[in-house]
A and B are shown apart, each in its own frame.
Chain A
Amino acid sequence: MRNVRLGIRDGLVFGAVFLFVVLVGLYGAFAANSLLGVRVPNMIFALFGIWVGAYVMRSVRRQGSQLTDGVVAALVAGVTMTLLLALFTFWASRVNLRDIFANMTPEVVALLTFDRGVPTGLVFQVVGGALLAVAGALGNVAWDRIRLPEGATETGNRLASFLLVLYVIVGGFTALLFALGQWGPALRDIAEGALGFALPNDLYRILRIGAVVLIVGYLGGIALTLAAPAQAVRLKERLTTTRRLFGLAFILLALFFPLSLGSYWNQVLTTIGIFVMMGLGLNVVVGFAGLLDLGYVAFFAIGAYTYAFLNSPKYGLDLSFWVSLPIAMAVAALAGIILGVPVLRMRGDYLAIVTLGFGEIIRLIMNNQVELTGGAQGILQIQPPEILGLVINTPLRFYYLIFIGAVLVAFVTARLNNSRIGRAWIAMREDEDVAQAMGINTVNYKLLAFATGAAFAGLAGLIFAARQRNIFPADFGLLVSIEALSLIIIGGMGSIPGVIAGAVALKGLPELLRALQEYRLLIYGALLVVMMLVRPEGLLPSRRRAREIHEAMEEIEIDESELQSTA
């Protein structure tokens, strides 16, 4: 009965997570929307049910048990999960929990009971959970059998089969409920309760949505085959030509797509671009040299404020763009060196905290030194730059300016990486003592990394100030540093496509998913944790970084300290 215990345990865990989703408000927020033909809250419930079943089945099969054991365990898990849910729903229906849990409104309680009130709704929950769990368990068995064409990566396969199975299960259930609903008013009532809306007469709409999901899944799987496989051992990589084509297509897209977008989306693109620049700069510090900088926003702020000082009524200056640019970058680079000197000898965690401290100190100074920096009121009326007679004052123009800037930064960092300097950085990152023993002056190279990264942040800051026209200390908080870091971490360490992917994901997607705006930070934090657990090297990492991380995690721990050897 070990499997039963497994089922109970997993059921409780999944139930707790589901409750979390409810309490946080994600469950009830989209009550008005539907996904794949099912009302969103009900869909969330369905997903959890299917998932717990599939998860348990997978665990059971891993232990070599029979299929039937797996189904039983899945059933137990589904029931446990929904029992927990039912208990909570019951409690919520009796007591007003709103004072404690801000999201437990009566509407949410109604949703939880499928609009059927307390006793019936709870039955719905438990029965539904059981059925879905079993379906999920069977789905787990099915998905192993689905494979993409030759050459697909493991991830690609998994994604494609996952989406297909999901579609089949949900689509199947929906169609089933549909069919049931035609069989008389009582069943129709049940079906509508489960789906969350009045049954339409248009089955095709749902099938169409499903087909789209399927196609996207397959395309996604294929796209993932072309991304760098995380475990590549050899230097030569398959599909380099395809990568180049993708790169070219992307550049063309980036060049011409914005012309078709309105100014709002162009503005979004400029934000993405600025973060791409920051990400590339931070990539030099963190990705190449391996120095975890949590205070990166300080250089961004310095670049922004320098430009602001040089181009606004505050100090009565109005220098040309071509003059302000090198000044701002130089000042930022200098700041990078000043920051770098004290932290030269620190190890990873301390380095992170100290840089965080520096970032905060800079912000606090900006905030409190009113005469110098305008304090919390910031600096206003910054003049837009004028390049070759053209005034850059529309989002589209800024976008192209940023595009050029980003390309230059990417170019420079790529060239640095593929040189003696890049090798020195990598060596330093892997094993600082040995790098020194091989003649690398780690002090100089650390400072170089800091200065370069800072200069690029300064560049990004400069453009930011020019675009905003007004800057305030509030724009330069810790969160920006963390966002820049997350960009690299999630997008992929040490690789340029990774940084771009990260910037698009973290800055572009929230715009697309407007509805989730409030949950942005929550998802952020969860994403960081999940990524570290599942794919710490990021979505599109450089081969090298992926290798490094995986080797470190798979090795048996050897006493690495050479200095404690017994010779």
Chain B
Amino acid sequence: MSDYILEARGVTKRFGGLVAVNRVDFTIERRTIAGLIGPNGAGKTTFFNCLTGLYKADEGEIIFDGKYSLIGVPPDRITALGISRTFQNIRLFGSMTALENVMVGTHCRTKTNMIDAIFHTPRYHREEAWARKRAMELLEYVGMANAADEVATSLPYGYQRRLEIARALATEPKLLLLDEPTAGMNPNETEEMTDLIRRLCDDLGVSILLIEHDMRVVMGISDKVSVLDHGELIAEGSPEDVQKNPKVIEAYLGTVGTEQAAEARRRGRDDECSN
């Protein structure tokens, strides 16, 4: 069995004359958290979309779990294989409750068909109960069980983000793609979210690929960081290495982020010591 949960080689995506993703080689080891950073417009979400099948890559190969080639596979099949994601702008099913949103996630793991639905066969009852229970469990896991019956759009922002994750988890992914999960959060919420992400990897064994702009988060929990700029991979390695990489600093044109991250890590180490 391969070490890598995901292996992308030479992935390229063009939109007319613009090359959004340019021959990117990328790997994610099992049960790790991989971070993907880069300035705005670098092609991160486009890369995500190629991985999940929303876009079809023009060139390259994507191998999942050592066995499956993902190029040309439709998104729903990719999800069934075990990749799931959240979205940069929250895209919940607005008219459904939180519980229903998560239950939608269980779709690819259940088999109830028309006959079952119409005649309420034992499978229908069994799977409905299971889906409901599973959804509640997931909501509890992300810490919002009390809001299960609230309509999704009436939830506070932090809850909505967590709901997206719960929904994605319902598909039982081996690899979870998170697109800016802490966007718009205050430091407290960010810490809770970071915590949750780590638990997902440690407890549930889910590999995670994370797009983030908050350097504290990325540098804090990633096992490996990759940097994209203008569609190209310009650096890769441990958080410390990447931060010192001159190409990366140039891409961001600033040392501020670097300093903050260094500061945060120092603080993080102190916290661990005092625990």
Contact = CB atoms under 8 A, between A and B. Distances in A.
A513 interface: no
B112 A421 contact: yes
A99 interface: no
Contacts of A560: 89
B45 A438 contact: no
B104 A419 contact: no
B107 interface: yes
Contact of B104 (A233, A433, A435, A567): A435
Nearest to A561: B89
Contact of B95 (A416, A439, A551): A551
Contacts of A558: 89
Contact of B97 (A235, A421, A437): A235
B80 interface: yes
Given A438-B105, A547-B94, A562 B151 contact: no
B9 interface: no
A566 B167 contact: no
B131 A436 contact: no
A562 B89 contact: yes
Interface string B146-167: 0001110110000000000001
A437 B52 contact: yes
Interface residues of B, number: 61
A120 interface: no
A547 B95 contact: yes
Contacts of A418: 117
B107 A439 contact: yes
B179 interface: yes
B149 A235 contact: yes
A234 B95 CA distance: 11
A440 B117 contact: no
A415 to B, nearest CB: 5
B91 to A, nearest CB: 5
A280 interface: no
A563 B168 CA distance: 19
Interface string B73-108: 011110110001101110101111100100111011
Nearest to B86: A437
A420 B112 contact: yes
Given A437-B54, A438-B79, A567-B180, A426 B95 contact: yes
B75 A437 contact: yes
A566 B124 CA distance: 43
A440 B76 contact: yes
Interface string B15-55: 00000000000000000000000101111111011001011
Contact of A562 (B91, B117, B168): B91
B256 interface: no
B197 interface: no
Contacts of B45: 562-563, 565, 567
Contacts of B52: 437
Interface in A179-238: 233-236
A233 B154 CA distance: 8
A100 to B, nearest CB: 50
Given A427-B93, A547-B95, A420 B76 contact: no
B41 A415 contact: no
B75 A419 contact: no
Interface string B243-255: 0000000000000
B128 interface: yes
A490 B113 CA distance: 31
Contacts of A430: 93-96
A339 B117 CA distance: 25
Contacts of A415: 117-118, 120
A448 B115 CA distance: 12
A38 B11 CA distance: 79
B54 A563 contact: yes
Contact of A437 (B84, B114, B149, B153): B84
A176 interface: no
B142 to A, nearest CB: 16
Given A420-B117, A439-B107, A566-B40, A434 B76 contact: no
A412 interface: yes
B108 A439 contact: yes
Contacts of B77: 441
Nearest to A548: B95
Given A423-B107, A434-B87, A233 B151 contact: yes
Nearest to B42: A567
Nearest to B94: A551
A252 B235 CA distance: 74
Given A421-B112, A442-B76, A566 B41 contact: yes
24 contacts: A233-B154, A234-B149, A235-B149, A419-B128, A423-B96, A426-B96, A434-B93, A436-B75, A437-B54, A437-B79, A438-B105, A438-B107, A438-B108, A438-B171, A440-B76, A441-B77, A551-B95, A559-B89, A562-B91, A567-B40, A567-B41, A567-B43, A567-B48, A567-B180
User: Would you list the 9 A-B pairs with minimal beta carbon distance, nearest first?
Assistant: A439-B108, A419-B117, A567-B45, A439-B79, A567-B44, A436-B75, A548-B95, A420-B112, A566-B40
Given A419-B116, A420-B127, 8 more contacts: A236-B149, A439-B108, A439-B171, A440-B108, A441-B77, A551-B153, A563-B55, A565-B45
Interface of A: 233-236, 412, 415-416, 418-424, 426-427, 430-431, 433-442, 448, 544-545, 547-548, 551, 558-560, 562-563, 565-567
